[in-house]
């Protein structure tokens, strides 16, 4: 492993709606095409950040700006447990007509986006659990063929048939778990496009841990496989952290376990810096040593050929360096404790420090302001065990 992020590139999408001019356009015979339908679906549970357009604002703005006729910029909003499909019209209007002044279109779209942002901020799951597949199903039903569904949420589903609290080592082989879901229980996405945003992000400092890069990769693979099995025309992923504000929901959501090394020799685990390291320290606390003990016990029983790799992270502190040395020292401290606990040297692989500029768990300086609660989530060491 080198000093760069090992996360795979995710698909970036740009709204494709617009005007298509036929050969006879100069003669006044323009063949125009309105943007395809757009639906935003949110699980909006108590375990997830409050829904926000933060990660998909450009995509939604492009949809609105491509409006050719009144109502073209309509966006449907589906919320977990809410039987009503809400609508917000983002079409930039001037009176009864679509705004044609390019200098004012962005201004009017921004005003309409603020209305949609307010509606998202008030969204709250009306049923318990995190029902990702159920919300996706309803959103697809509300979207005509050729349209797009943007599914915003952590993807940490806790409702059958995708209950990750009972899925075993789904991080180890997400595609294999996806294959166990009966096709009869999947929504019909034929002819429609699906975009996932916010996978892996939980409420900062909440009981549900935010997924690290390895777990987010597994979630991407899992939902990508289920999306393809549903027959979608395309399945895309928008990376990036949602807004970190507290959710409006109060529903009960089970915890999805993200540390699987205690039960499997291939998987991942996170050494929580909140209890393992001080703010500017690579010295393991007694709580950190205790957290490593069961991982070491598991590694000692693994069969030959399996190797554990470590990636250290650091919080971004304004005015400080990039934290690479600190994050590497934290990784090395964890490896030193694994050695002390009896893990064979041949099981220990590479140690990498990504610092605070690359592969962060969350952005701990939103709007340029340091947030200690978010910074704690970045003081971690991620361990990944794989076949050597």
Beta bridge partners of 217: none
**DSSP code string of 253-272:** -PPPP---TTT-SSEEEEE-
Nearest to 257 by CA among 373, 158, 383: 158
pLDDT digits over 94-108, tens only?
A: 999 999 998 899 999
The two three-digit tokens of residue 296, written as one number: 């070491």
pLDDT at 266: 65
Residue of 384 and 105 predicted with greater confidence: 105
Q: Quick check: 331 pLDDT over 70?
A: yes
CA distance 373 to 210: 13
Q: How far is CA 335 from CA 22, 98, 160, 355, in A?
A: 64, 62, 38, 17
317-347 burial: b if 16+ Cβ within 10 Å, else e: beeeeebbebbbbbbbbbbebbeebebeeeb
Residue range 267-387 in CATH 3.30.1330.60: yes
Spell out the SS3 assignment of 25-80.
Answer: HHHCCCCECCCCCEEEEECCCCCCCCCCCCCCHHHHHHHHHCCCCCCCCEEEEEEC
pLDDT at 225: 97
pLDDT at 258: 83
Q: Quick check: 19 pLDDT over 60?
A: no
pLDDT at 277: 83
| Mean per-residue pLDDT over the chain, rounded | 86
pLDDT at 152: 97
Quickly state the pLDDT bin for 291 (edges 50, 70, 90).
confident
Residue of 264 and 32 predicted with greater confidence: 32
Least confident of 10-19, 61-70, 286-295, 341-350: 10-19
Quickly state the pLDDT bin for 265 (edges 50, 70, 90).
low
In 301-371, alpha helices (H) = 324-340
Q: Quick check: 386 pLDDT over 90?
A: no
Residue of 316 and 243 predicted with greater confidence: 316
pLDDT at 40: 98
Q: How far is CA 53 from CA 100, 109, 132, 192, in A?
A: 25, 13, 18, 21
pLDDT digits over 308-318, tens only?
A: 999 999 988 88
Q: What average pLDDT score do residues 202-226 get?
A: 88
Quickly state the pLDDT bin for 261 (edges 50, 70, 90).
low
What end-to-end distance do the CA atoms of the chain give, in Å? 13
Beta bridge partners of 193: 148, 234
Quickly state the pLDDT bin for 2 (edges 50, 70, 90).
very low
Least confident of 204-213, 262-271, 281-290: 262-271
Quickly state the pLDDT bin for 25 (edges 50, 70, 90).
very low
Contact 174, 225 (CB under 8 A): yes
Start-end of CATH 3.30.1330.60 domains in the chain: 267-387
Q: Quick check: 17 pLDDT over 80?
A: no
**By percentage, how much of the chain surpasses pLDDT 70?**
88
Phi-psi region of 312 (alpha: psi -120 to 50; beta: other; left: phi over 0): beta
Q: What average pLDDT score do residues 142-154 get?
A: 97
Contact 157, 80 (CB under 8 A): no
pLDDT at 32: 64
pLDDT digits over 117-146, tens only?
A: 999 999 999 999 999 999 999 999 999 999
**DSSP code string of 221-254:** HHHHHHHHHTTBSEEEEE-SPPP-PPPS-----P
């Amino acid at each position: 492993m080198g000093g760069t992020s090992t996360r795979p590139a995710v698909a970036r999408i740009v709204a494709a709606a617009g005007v298509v001019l036929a050969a006879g356009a100069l003669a006044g015979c323009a063949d125009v095409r309105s943007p395809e339908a757009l639906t935003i679906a949110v699980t909006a549970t108590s375990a997830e950040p409050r829904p926000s357009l933060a990660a998909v604002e450009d995509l939604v703005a492009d949809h609105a700006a491509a409006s050719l006729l009144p109502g073209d910029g309509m966006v449907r909003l589906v919320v977990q447990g809410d039987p009503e499909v809400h609508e917000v019209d983002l079409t930039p209007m001037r009176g009864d007509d679509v705004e044609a002044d390019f200098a004012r279109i962005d201004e009017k779209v921004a005003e309409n986006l603020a209305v949609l942002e307010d509606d998202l901020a008030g969204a709250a799951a009306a049923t318990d659990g995190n029902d990702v597949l159920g919300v996706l199903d309803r959103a697809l039903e509300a979207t005509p063929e050729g349209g797009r569904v943007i599914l915003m949420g952590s993807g940490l589903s806790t409702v059958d048939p995708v209950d990750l609290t009972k899925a075993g080592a789904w991080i180890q082989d997400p595609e294999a778990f996806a294959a166990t879901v009966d096709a009869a229980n999947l929504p019909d996405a034929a002819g429609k496009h699906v975009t996932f945003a916010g996978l892996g992000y939980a409420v900062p400092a909440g009981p549900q841990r935010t997924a690290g890069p390895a777990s987010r990769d597994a979630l991407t693979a899992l939902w990508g496989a289920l999306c393809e099995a549903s027959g979608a025309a395309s399945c895309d992923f928008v990376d990036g952290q949602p807004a970190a504000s507290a959710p409006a929901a109060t529903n009960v959501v089970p915890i999805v376990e993200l540390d699987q090394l205690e039960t499997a020799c291939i998987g991942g685990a996170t050494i929580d810096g909140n209890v393992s390291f001080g703010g500017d320290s690579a010295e393991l606390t007694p709580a950190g040593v205790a957290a490593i003990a069961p991982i070491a016990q598991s590694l000692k029983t693994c069969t030959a050929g399996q190797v554990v790799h470590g990636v250290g992270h650091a919080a971004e502190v304004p005015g400080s360096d990039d934290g690479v040395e600190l994050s590497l020292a934290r990784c090395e401290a964890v490896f030193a404790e694994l050695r002390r606990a009896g893990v064979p040297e041949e099981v220990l692989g590479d140690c990498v420090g990504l610092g605070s500029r690359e592969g962060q768990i969350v952005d701990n300086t939103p709007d340029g302001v340091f947030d200690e609660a978010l910074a704690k989530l970045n003081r971690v060491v991620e361990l990944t065990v794989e076949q050597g």
